[in-house]
Amino acid sequence: MPIMEKGLVINHQQLAQDMYVMEFLAPSIAKECKPGQFLHVRPGNTNDPLLRRPLSLYDVDQEKGSISLLYRVVGKGTDLLTGLKVNDYIDIMGPLGRGFSLPESPKNALLVGGGVGIAPLVYLGRVLKERECQVTVMCGAANAGQLVVDDKFQQLDITFLSATIDGSAGYKGLVTDLLVTQVKPGGFDIIYTCGPEPMMDLVALYAAIHHIWGEVSLEEHMACGVGACLGCARRLKASDETYAKVCKDGPVFNMKEVEF
Ligand SMILES: Cc1cc2nc3c(=O)[nH]c(=O)nc-3n(C[C@H](O)[C@H](O)[C@H](O)COP(=O)(O)OP(=O)(O)OC[C@H]3O[C@@H](n4cnc5c(N)ncnc54)[C@H](O)[C@@H]3O)c2cc1C
Ligand code: FES
């Protein structure tokens, strides 16, 4: 059952022109969280916007009882969030959805994120390291200013490779070009990816060609967030007769289940 909680904001920082990270205390939800799940966040105190907004668990500190979100401002809801200050409360519901499958034994894992799709891969990276996995992260962004999480991965002792479209940091080009040209096939047992669909499509193709097991995290517009309204329903493959509810059956799916 999802929990409703008012999180006490303890840190809220702007990381780039349109990117923010917010940490709040929400111990009841924090202790239930798993990487890849999300929170449904009420952006303001009025009915405009009416619907909650889904945001991934960027990081969770279960001992402290805190949760962090990394978000990009794209519209009214995320813009309203920027107004929350330390000691304000954020209205959240969660944890929601099916998260990433975690390996039983240590594995060599590759995490590929694009844009703000990197958000759920930080908490995933932390938990994989706790399970003694080798973890490599590849992150694609428009420019160096948008690469806002490299220090998080360094703190976790995770290998971090970046690709920027303008070449201002790391490899110049798409993160999928970096993957195809620089990564030795066979070096990884597991791939997880989150970001723009064309990127995830190519990552899934790479995994299929090299017979690597993998999962993708999908984004859909959501209303209820708990599987009750069909607002997020999508056919995972064109030939599917039924629709998956991304909020409840996902947002994480096996790569083989999804056709982009
Ligand atoms: C499971 C899940 C996890 C997410 N995690 C994060 C996260 O960690 N950080 C983050 O910044 N964003 C995340 N998102 C996207 C985030 O939910 C949307 O950006 C947010 O709801 C936009 O709200 P808004 O009111 O600011 O913009 P709106 O005014 O609602 O929309 C602004 C623009 O964004 C588009 N948009 C809105 N919601 C979505 C969506 N779900 N998918 C694709 N396009 C959308 C709209 O079509 C419109 O063009 C996640 C989405 C899902 C489904
Ligand atoms: S958002 Fe209502 S069913 Fe998924």
Query: In this predicted model, what pLDDT tens digit does every residue of 126-171 receive, in sequence order?
Result: 999 999 999 999 999 999 999 999 899 999 999 999 999 999 999 9
Q: Which of 47, 74, 148, 247 to mutate to test the pocket of ligand 1 (most atoms within 8 A of CB)?
A: 74
Asked whether residue 139 is assigned to any structural domain, the reply reads: yes
> If you measure from the C-alpha of residue 228 to the centroid of ligand 2, how many angstroms do you get, rounded to a whole number?
6
Co-location of 112 and 204 in the same domain: yes
Query: Does residue 38 line the site of ligand 1, with CB under 6 A?
Result: yes
pTM for the structure as a whole: 0.96
pLDDT at 46: 83
Asked whether residue 254 is assigned to any structural domain, the reply reads: no
Q: What is the CATH number of the domain that holds 206?
A: 3.40.50.80
> If you measure from the C-alpha of residue 191 to the centroid of ligand 1, how many angstroms do you get, rounded to a whole number?
24
* Count of structural domains within the chain: 2
Does residue 20 have a pLDDT over 80?
yes
Asked whether residue 140 is assigned to any structural domain, the reply reads: yes
Q: Domain span at residue 75?
A: 3-96
Which three-class secondary structure state does DSSP give residue 69?
strand
Burial 54-87 (b: 16+ CB within 10 A, else e): bbbbbbbeeeebbbbbbbbbeeebbebbeebeee
Co-location of 82 and 117 in the same domain: no
Domain boundary among 61, 76, 96: 96
Asked whether residue 257 is assigned to any structural domain, the reply reads: no
> If you measure from the C-alpha of residue 75 to the centroid of ligand 1, how many angstroms do you get, rounded to a whole number?
8
